[in-house]
Amino acid sequence: MSSLGAAFRLVRAGWVLVREGVVAAVPGDQLSGLPKFGWRVAVMFTRRRALSQQRTDRLARAVARLGPSYVKLGQFLATRPDVVGNDIALDLALLQDKMQTFPKEEAIAAVEASLGRPVGDLYLNFGDAVAAASIAQVHPAEVDQAGERRHVAVKVIRPGVRRRFQHDLDSYFLAARLQEKYIPSSRRLRPVEVTQTLAQTTRIEMDLRLEGAALSELGENIKEDPGFRVPAVDWERTGRDVLTMEWVDGIKMNDVAALDAAGHDLKAIAANLIQSFLRHTLRDGFFHADMHPGNLFVEANGTIVAVDLGIAGRLGKKERRFLAEILYGFITRDYLRVAEVHFEAGYVPHKHDVAAFAQAIRAIGEPIHGQPAETISMAKLLTLLFEVTELFDMETRPELILLQKTMVVVEGVARTLDPAFNMWKTSEPVVGDWIRSNLGPRGMIADAREGFHALSSLARHLPEMATRTERLSREIDLMAENGLRFDEATAQAIGKAEARHSRSGRLALWVIALALVYIAWRLF
């Protein structure tokens, strides 16, 4: 029944996308065969009102009809332009995660169930919701801390949201499996793996303790940094379904007129934003991955405060070196080094020629050097770079795609504050310092220290590794003599699983086909 329910939900979602003109907005002249026929049918069933709307408006209306799960799906796919294309990703990034508030009484019940205490014991007062998104909503409240009243923000999970997400995820997985099975060209994008990433991301985002931990970690990383901070977490009043944190008094960064009227130096704020983001990314390998202007406040003293850390990005040391050397290579026009970094990191298969790849990199870099510095977009550069790497079989790197998406947003915010913003001049102090610290003499000493620790750890585990190697050798010898065998229960389980998978796939296709026939019959 779960497959049947997923199929019906998938048909409903497809029908809404058709009726609201989302499918019709796809460039049909670039399609052929059965997809083009399907596109023409979709245009026939599109509402006339939708045909006169912009694609972004069509997406927003469709997502609003489909509910919170699809808002989150749209936001997730906005981070994957490799899957949906750059244009669609930009449209999805504009989706507003604003939903109707749920009753205050339900929020209080969720707080009490999560923390195991009456709301009156936890807060001096608990106000009505001031903002609501697909997963949670925020209430103002006051607490008593060491005899002092403090204003706090209380984020509460939307009731029933986990169950709704799980049901919709079943239909996402069904669509991904059908796509992989019947559209071979899409397998390179690994749709099932993408859906698994979405499932994991939403599970993390729906546990507010993890968001609190992310705020705490980022806060520790940047405690000595000037002009940028995150709100402090009240751990006594935080649980799986509730997050209590410091209330932020400031002006939202999307209100440029208010910032200007308050006397803030917009150019300084733009520079601080970019340098802070690059510092978090390169130095710490941990960054806020949802830095749209609605999540950024500016306090009276000019300090930027970032909230809503449900989505965070991480980069390992290899990825940080990759990013820094690429940026520095483009600045110095050392395209061969940029190409070599891709090969050293293992991102481009060694079957390709480094010189040929460097030539492709030059095709991106040279036009940039002919432009005024303030018109050069670092985010656009990374977008072009990832497009070129596809020609050289570079596999999708989710952590780099998330970085690219965040950089697009952050750079866009900076240019809103300062239209003549010079990305390269602003970022050079942070990027240059990281390169000097990690790729110069100091970096070599640090690498040697890490290598010594790794060798010490290896030496401690050598006896255990020798025992495992000996046991593995004996088992391989037995397999060579007797062959690989399954016991009867394992063989039967494999057969049943394969038969069940085949039946569910056929059933889903029949349900979708019958539903579409029924819809067409009712319309005509």
The enclosing H or E element of 6 equals: helix 2-19
Asked if 76 and 205 count as a contact pair (C-beta separation under 8 A), the reply is no
Residue showing tokens 């997985």: 173
Asked if 378 and 424 count as a contact pair (C-beta separation under 8 A), the reply is yes
Q: How far is CA 294 from CA 280, 444, 517, in A?
A: 20, 41, 44
The enclosing H or E element of 144 equals: strand 136-145
Cα within 13 Å of Cα(317), Cβ side: 8
Asked if 119 and 112 count as a contact pair (C-beta separation under 8 A), the reply is yes
* Degrees to nearest 5, angle at CA 52 with 51 and 53: 95
Q: How far is CA 231 from CA 28, 332, 426, in A?
A: 47, 38, 26
Give the 3-state secondary structure of 339-379. HHHHHHCCCCCCCCCHHHHHHHHHHHHHHHHCCCHHHCCHH
pLDDT digit string (tens) for 190-231? 778 777 877 877 888 889 999 999 999 999 999 999 899 999
Separation between Cα atoms, residue 63 and residue 291, nearest integer Å: 22
- Please state whether 150 falls in left (phi above 0), alpha (psi between -120 and 50) or beta: beta
* Helices and strands (H, E) in the chain, number of each type: 22, 11
| Cβ neighbours of 95 (radius 10 Å) | 21
Per-residue pLDDT of the chain (524 residues; tens, 9 = 90+): 466 777 777 788 778 888 887 777 777 666 677 777 777 887 888 887 777 777 777 777 777 777 777 777 777 777 666 666 666 766 676 665 567 889 999 999 999 999 999 999 999 999 999 988 888 999 999 999 888 899 999 999 999 888 888 888 888 888 788 877 777 766 766 778 777 877 877 888 889 999 999 999 999 999 999 899 999 999 999 999 999 999 999 999 989 999 999 999 999 999 999 999 999 999 999 999 888 888 899 999 999 999 988 888 898 888 888 888 887 787 778 889 888 888 887 778 888 899 998 998 888 888 776 676 666 676 677 777 767 776 777 766 667 777 877 887 888 889 889 988 888 788 888 888 888 888 755 444 544 555 545 555 556 666 766 677 767 666 676 666 665 555 566 556 656 655 555 555 555 555 555 555 445 444 44
Separation between Cα atoms, residue 53 and residue 40, nearest integer Å: 18
Separation between Cα atoms, residue 273 and residue 441, nearest integer Å: 29
Phi, psi of 397 (to 5 degrees): -115, 95
What string of DSSP letters covers 47-76?
Answer: -HHHHTS-HHHHHHHHHHHH-HHHHHHHHH
What does the pLDDT read at residue 1?
46
* Residues linked to residue 314 through DSSP beta bridges, in sequence order: 286
Separation between Cα atoms, residue 71 and residue 164, nearest integer Å: 13
What does the pLDDT read at residue 520?
47
And the tokens for 191? 């749709």
And the tokens for 237? 């009043």
What does the pLDDT read at residue 114?
95
Residue 207: active-site member: no
Q: Angle formed by the axes of helices 398-417 and 423-439, to 10°?
A: 140
Separation between Cα atoms, residue 129 and residue 138, nearest integer Å: 5
Residues in CB range of 438: below 8 A, 6 or more apart: 320, 321, 324, 446
Asked if 447 and 441 count as a contact pair (C-beta separation under 8 A), the reply is no
**SS3 call for 334:** coil
Residues in CB range of 278: below 8 A, 6 or more apart: 427, 430, 431
And the tokens for 97? 């995660």
Residues in CB range of 488: below 8 A, 6 or more apart: none
Asked if 335 and 362 count as a contact pair (C-beta separation under 8 A), the reply is yes
Q: How far is CA 116 from CA 120, 122, 135, 139, in A?
A: 12, 10, 21, 19
CA 248 to chain centroid, in Å, comes to: 25
And the tokens for 295? 């999540």
Separation between Cα atoms, residue 226 and residue 426, nearest integer Å: 15
Closest to 269 (Cα-Cα) out of 240, 247, 243, 300: 300
Among the options 91, 97, 168, 290, which is catalytic?
Answer: 290
Q: How far apart are the first and last CA of the chain?
A: 30
Residues in CB range of 59: below 8 A, 6 or more apart: 22, 74, 91, 92, 95
Query: Which strands, in side-by-side order, build the sheet including 251-252?
Result: 228-229, 304-306, 296-298, 251-252
